[in-house]
Amino acid sequence: MKLFFVSLIFIFSGSALAQDPLPAWNDGPSKKAIIRFLQETTKPGSSQFIPPEERIAVFDNDGTLWSEQPIYVQIAFTIDRIKALAAQNPQWRTQQPFKAVLENDIQAIKASGQKGLFELIAATHAGMSTEAFQAIVSEWLKTARHPVTNRPYTEMVYQPMLELLAYLKSNGYTNYIVSGGGTEFMRPWTQQAYGIPPERIIGSAIKSKFVNINDQYRIIGLPEIEWINDGPNKPLAIQHQIGKRPVIAFGNSDGDQDMLLWTTGTPGPRLGGVIHHTDGTREVAYDRQSAIGKLNTALDLAPKNNWLVVDMKKDWRTIYPAIQTK
């Protein structure tokens, strides 16, 4: 009998010790590398130990933490805003790229490129206080749905990445989002979606001004771009707002490669990861030729810099969280 209870204690203790921190990840090189890195960098006395104050992890958002196909979520929001404001701006019916939006010409919107994209954003995100804009974003997210899955956009987050964020947090890492998306667009919902508070959001921004309206002080957005947080601007933004070089970085496109190079290009324990969209059944398969989330040079740089290439089809047991919507 005594041996029986000893055996039970051993079984349950072993089970607890073996609890999987990343259950949505298949057992493979990527998962093993992540777990090994965290074990080595958080164990006191380890040669790879990183003090808690230096445990900085940065993540791209679109295509890294949530879906970016068939169109960036912020662009879907912007399209809806253009349509809502069209009656007040009749010139948009003949002016590109607004004309393309009003005619639902997605290909023309994509063809307008980054210039057209930020022209749309500047026109729809300006002229109001930051509080008013964030309230509009929050209301839009309550009813907006992904055009393919019909799920709320906040349910189009990647379950394996949610687990990674939680795993890092539980091991003393501080997570930041470093995205080409708008800072004020992301701030209303990232705490609930990812557990990342608004002060840790580093994104693109329009210009703004501080005003006094009848003794009510506000910050008002202007229809001009202040900062596009993409490519080489990402390391600059990280240094400007965090003041420390990260030790972990994950992205999914060429726009993230400079952030990855900045993170991993120095001595000491570093972890870089590239999310490779290879699953055309459960998500969308795309990389080198994609107009959205193009992954070409960063994919070539990955082996040279020892970055993990996370193969969504092979490495992820599941893509999205269980459906929450009733």
* β-strand pairing of 248-251 with 271-276: parallel
CA distance 118 to 92: 15
Sign (positive or negative) of CA dihedral 240, 246, 250, 254: positive
- The DSSP code for 91 is G
Q: Give the mean model confidence (pLDDT) for residues 106-133.
A: 86
Q: What is the pLDDT of residues 172-187, one digit of tens each?
A: 999 999 999 999 999 9
pLDDT confidence bin for 18, thresholds 50/70/90: low
Q: What is the pLDDT of residue 10?
A: 36
Residue 70: asked if its preceding bond is cis (omega within 30°), the reply is: yes
- Structural tokens at position 60: 């791209």
CA distance 273 to 37: 12
- Structural tokens at position 20: 């999987």
Q: What is the pLDDT of residue 113?
A: 74
Q: What is the pLDDT of residues 191-218, one digit of tens each?
A: 999 999 999 999 999 999 999 988 999 9
Break the chain into its structural domains and give their ranges: 22-31+40-71+147-315
Q: What is the pLDDT of residue 122?
A: 84
pLDDT confidence bin for 108, thresholds 50/70/90: confident
Q: What are phi and psi of 210, to 5 degrees?
A: -95, 125
Which residues is 216 bridged to in the sheet?
A: 213
Which residues is 212 bridged to in the sheet?
A: 217
Q: What is the mean pLDDT of the chain?
A: 92
Whether the per-residue pLDDT at 11 is higher than 50: the answer is: no
Any residues with CB less than 8 A from the CB of 34 and at least 6 apart, and which?
22, 25, 164, 167, 271, 273, 308
Q: What is the pLDDT of residues 140-151, one digit of tens each?
A: 999 999 999 999
CB atoms within 10 A of CB 231: 16
Q: What is the pLDDT of residue 234?
A: 98
Q: What is the pLDDT of residue 6?
A: 38
Which CATH code for domain 22-31+40-71+147-315?
A: 3.40.50.1000
Q: What is the pLDDT of residue 167?
A: 98
